A and B are shown apart, each in its own frame.
Chain A
């Protein structure tokens, strides 16, 4: 087929200044995000193989002299019950990390499903789902958490996770709904409709890929929320006091009045770790701020909707 008049040779060089290459590139470009990623990976290594960093095999066993100060053998000293604090810290990483990632993941999935569907389906579906989002958004979380956790009985890990997901999904859902609403009348979605695509396809394959950064940012926010809230729950004694995690360490150290009886590290160390893990999520989020907020993206338009040139 002969080419038509007006053949346009491709001019090299990007028109817009949008960053290419997905999420990894985004993280690489931000120093804060790299720092956050580094911390997170460090914790992950510890969670996978805590045995690499300590010789203690059962951190909960009461096997040492209680209330020892930090020393070469016990890097952070021992608890009032004779456990190595450093070992507890290391083994506790696993549960805290699992909570953060799993609860964050499920909360994000729920946010995406509810938020995007509400916006895309519109009409009555949107009204109902929005009401649902708003109800969960408005309920004060901590009292709700406490009630749920108490009702569910002294929590297992599963209960804690469920509680976190139930209370943590609505904020992200609202964000995603707002973003989807702004996308809804974009021509490429209308183009897909006119093409004859099914609605489910459009939501999954056309809408979601344009929101990956926002979804990842949401996940990081949910993970941060989960880390802090889980620690809080366990601190209040609503978790399983026999599990090994930073939150339970906080519970026991509070219980045994660590700060007042000269064992401050027992409280400070797990608290610091919670803060550090939370910070790593917050830092990683910096990489996605600009990308996930479309208002910050450069857009070029013509005729009545122009930006200055």
Chain B
């Protein structure tokens, strides 16, 4: 089925010069267990430049949320980073002490969680929570706190009168936007978001995505956005990462990945989204389930479900090979591969 090219990205960004805001190199995260641990994230590389929106896409069990938590240094046992580095403006977060991290947290990078209802304290008002966040990372007077809190709420389109409200008094969409406001209190350089829209209805989702992009334009922060819904980021992200079974299987400019997905998994994933326009055709999805990461398969992790798997895929592990503007972890794109 011919993919019409993606018409546009909202406010597209070209990678800014200079070192990337976030540079993840060869990151590996393992969950300890009796016996061999489970490697939830296996050698992931990712670069995020100033003002860039990077989408990380994958289904359940692919490791994207674990990777996000690892980047934000929020992992707790039994999960731990067992390899690689997370460079924030050149400094390695993995080797920092808690005190050093605290200086950076919220001021230089912040996190928006998946469910606002779980992340916001249900028994304190929004104003109190903003105040906690502000006081935890700096010394401010009362009036400064009040002013800043009102500022960020207005930024996300909420009337500051809601500062006195409790989370349950706000609607789902407003809660999520309040979370984003909280993340922007210090105008950080990087905001990490873990599926912030999954509990919202389609209309609220759309307005939230547009809002995030507009804020990026205004304030210049970079975003790493994790989601299972590829189409959600199709108009908003500059760079796209597709993860499967703990590895990055495709990475590149969003437009290119949507126009011509190189990896069979990305292709299968894109094809699994029924469209509301165009002809109605029967789709097939991707049969089977992701592999058990406690006992990862030999060779390519996708080969058991791959429609174009070759013999060597069962024994040879592919690396990330360049294919035009994208990188693809597939033996089909191995350099000097003679295609039959």
Residue positions of A touching B, CB distance < 8 A: 5-9, 11, 13, 15, 300, 302-306, 308-309
Q: Whole-angstrom distance between the alpha carbons of A274 and B116 in the complex? A: 52
What are the residues of chain B within 8 A of A13 when measuring CB–CB? 292, 295
Given contacts A304-B115, A309-B64, contact A11 B289 (CB under 8 A): yes
Contacts of A302 in B (CB 8 A): 60, 228
Contacts A304-B198, A306-B198, A309-B60 hold; do A6 and B287 have CB atoms under 8 A apart? Answer: yes
A13–B199 alpha-carbon span in the complex (Å)? 31
Question: Quick one: CB contact mask for B260-291 with A, threshold 8 Å, 1 for yes?
Answer: 00000000000000000000001011011100
Most buried by B among A15, A306, A309: A309
Bound complex: CA of A186 vs CA of B225, how far in Å? 32
**Residues of B159-206 whose CB lies within 8 A of A:** 194-195, 198-199
Tell me whether A300 and B60 are in contact (CB under 8 A): yes
Identify the closest chain A residue to B41 (Cβ). A309
- Contact residues in B for A304 (Cβ distance below 8 Å): 114-115, 198-199
User: Which 8 residue pairs spanning A and B have beta carbons closest together?
Assistant: A304-B199, A308-B65, A304-B198, A13-B292, A309-B61, A11-B289, A309-B65, A309-B60
Given A6-B285, A303-B198, are A308 and B60 also a contact pair (CB < 8 Å)? no
Classify the secondary structure of B's interface with A. Answer: loop
Q: Is B134 positioned at the interface, with any CB of A under 8 Å from its CB?
A: no
B interface, size bucket:
20 to 34
1/0 per residue, CB under 8 A from A, across B75-117: the answer is: 0000000000000000000000000000000000000001100
- In Å, the complex CA distance between A261 and B285 comes to 85
Which chain A residues border B66 with CB–CB below 8 Å?
Answer: 308-309
Q: Are A306 and B289 in contact (CB under 8 A)?
A: no
Q: B292, A5: Cβ atoms under 8 Å?
A: no
Which residue of chain A has the shortest Cβ distance to B58 in the bound complex?
A309
For B199, list chain A residues within 8 Å (CB): 303-304
Contact A309 B195 (CB under 8 A): no
CA distance A306 to B229 in the complex (A): 14
B21-44 contacts to A (CB < 8 Å): 40
Can you give 24 contacting A-B residue pairs, CB < 8 Å?
A5-B284, A6-B284, A6-B285, A8-B287, A11-B288, A15-B289, A302-B228, A303-B198, A303-B199, A304-B114, A304-B115, A304-B198, A306-B114, A306-B198, A308-B68, A308-B69, A308-B194, A309-B40, A309-B60, A309-B62, A309-B63, A309-B64, A309-B65, A309-B66
Q: Is the CB of B60 within 8 A of A306?
A: yes
Q: Which residues of A contact B285 (CB under 8 A)?
A: 6
Chain B, Cβ-Cβ closest to A15: B289
Task: For residue B272, give the distance in angstroms from its CB to the closest CB of chain A.
Answer: 12
Known: A6-B287, A8-B288. A306 touches B195 (CB 8 A): yes
